[in-house]
Amino acid sequence: MTRIIAGRAGGRALLTPNGSATRPTSDRVREAMFSRVEARMELDGSAVLDLYAGSGALGLEAASRGASAVCCVESDRGTARLIERNAQALALPGVEVATARVERWLERDPAAPGFELVLADPPYRLGEQEVGTMLAQLTPHLRTGALVLLERSARSPDPAWPAGWSVFGSKRYGQTSVHAAVHAASAST
């Protein structure tokens, strides 16, 4: 069972898609990811982007822990509706769900760089070139100093982070690796 770990909705269960269409981030990995987040930034009032959202567990966890605006990007319509239902059931305001392919969503022109945290969990089958392209497309959507956590298979090579990003390491949790970097240069400067 997938559940919210901490915050105002801590302990509450999430509906998850049937079948193998998604690979929810385990409670252990989510707890480790949010420990890293909270060691580097204040989550309260922040703007969070959850890419390849699946069940929405990462974005909803951020909302439960105080993020004021969370955008979950999920390509599957049924799964996107499930995220919306979870957000409503948990009474988590500020959660927006975009039903779109991540690369298409990132192509749109942002009103202003505004995300302070990005949680990206692309399918493990997604190639390293596609992951690198996605990371490069993120730049105009981020505030300077934005934290990006990227979940990948432990067998995957380290990601190719764009220029201007400060990499601060990877951690392995069983078959999962979480890579972290800070967006050090603003796209508008």
Using pLDDT thresholds of 50, 70 and 90, give the confidence band for residue 21: low
23: pLDDT strictly greater than 80: no
pTM above 0.75? yes
In the chain, what percentage of residues exceed pLDDT 90? 74
* Residue-wise pLDDT tens digits, 58-105: 999 999 999 999 999 999 999 999 999 999 999 999 999 999 999 999
Stretch 180-189: mean pLDDT: 67
CB atoms inside a 10 Å sphere around CB 178: 22
Mean pLDDT of the residues in the chain: 90
Query: How far is the C-alpha of 178 from the C-alpha of 66, rounded, in Å?
Result: 22
Q: What is the pLDDT of residue 19?
A: 59
Per the model's pLDDT, the better-predicted residue between 111 and 148 turns out to be: 148
pLDDT band at 28 (very low <50, low <70, confident <90, very high): confident
Q: Choose among 63, 129, 161, 162: nearest CA to 170.
A: 161
pLDDT over 80 (residue 111):
no
Which fold would CATH assign to domain 27-183? Rossmann fold (3.40.50)
Centroid of chain to Cα 166: 18
pLDDT band at 189 (very low <50, low <70, confident <90, very high): very low
Name the DSSP letter for residue 143.
Answer: E
Q: Cα dihedral angle (20, 26, 30, 32), rounded to 10 degrees?
A: -140
On the question of pLDDT at 12 being above 80, the answer is yes
pLDDT surpasses 50 at 188:
no
Confidence of residue 186 (pLDDT cuts 50, 70, 90): very low
Residue 143, class by beta-carbon neighbours within 10 Å (0-12 exposed, 13-18 middle, 19+ buried)? middle
Domain extent listing, the chain:
27-183
Torsion angles phi and psi, residue 151, rounded to 5? -95, 130
State pLDDT tens for residues 124-165: 889 999 999 999 999 999 999 999 999 999 999 999 999 889
